[in-house]
Amino acid sequence: MDVLQTGVGPSLTRIGDELGAVIDQLASGENTSTPLERVADLIEGSSRVFVLGAGRSGLALQMTAMRLMHLGLEVHVVGEVTAPAIGANDLLLTASGSGATGGIVRAANVAVVAGAQVAVITTADDSPLAQYASAVIVVPAAAKLDRTGSASAQYAGSLFEQAVVVLGDALFDSLWKRSGQSADELWPRHANIE
């Protein structure tokens, strides 16, 4: 590993540079913009959206779930006690850097068997999870177990997880613009018991 400048300032700059490069790659080119629009279309066209990720990826998708709820969509976090059964016309939105997380792959299979569609955010377009997907967003970031430093100088999939947060916000922003709703119209859906 290259010797990197230490300190919070240089770390912040390095993280910002890496995330900016990922965003630039995802936002440009036919091969990457089409999956982004496809996932937005799937979200918009679904009766309900279920989100599922493990660890930090799961936390990032919970942020996306909250924003989609603000749009007025029916959204559920898989594993929460109030999450209903998934079915036809629903969407399972997943995030897994490796695309091989056992519980997420099994959930994708269940979703497809139930008639739902699956959207995947991953670093591996040929992964077991991607095989179930109607749309795959491939994030050009290191997978959790990649410690070579070639794709990211950050630890254990951090760049992927950061990208999941930003992608969720970008999907929300795009869908918000499509909806024509004002910020004032969204605000009453924000939690008032916190």
Spatial distance between the Cα atoms of 63 and 47, rounded to a whole number of angstroms: 19
**pLDDT, tens digit, for every residue of 11-26?**
999 999 999 999 999 9
Any catalytic annotation for residue 18? Answer: no
The pLDDT score that the predictor gives to residue 15 is 94
Give me the chain's average pLDDT, please.
93
As separate numbers, helices (DSSP H) first and strands (DSSP E) second, the chain gives: 6, 5
pTM, 2 dp: 0.93
- Architecture per CATH, domain 8-187, reads as 3-Layer(aba) Sandwich (3.40)
CA distance linking residue 78 with residue 85, whole number of Å: 9
**CB-side exposure of 155: number of CA atoms within 13 Å?**
2
Q: Does 174 score more than 50 pLDDT? A: yes
Q: Please report which confidence band the pLDDT of residue 150 belongs to, taking 50, 70 and 90 as the band edges.
A: confident
Average pLDDT over residues 130-157: 87
**Per the residue annotation, which of 18, 44, 161, 185 is the catalytic one?**
161
What percent of the chain is modeled with pLDDT above 70?
95
CB contact at 8 A, 100 and 73: no
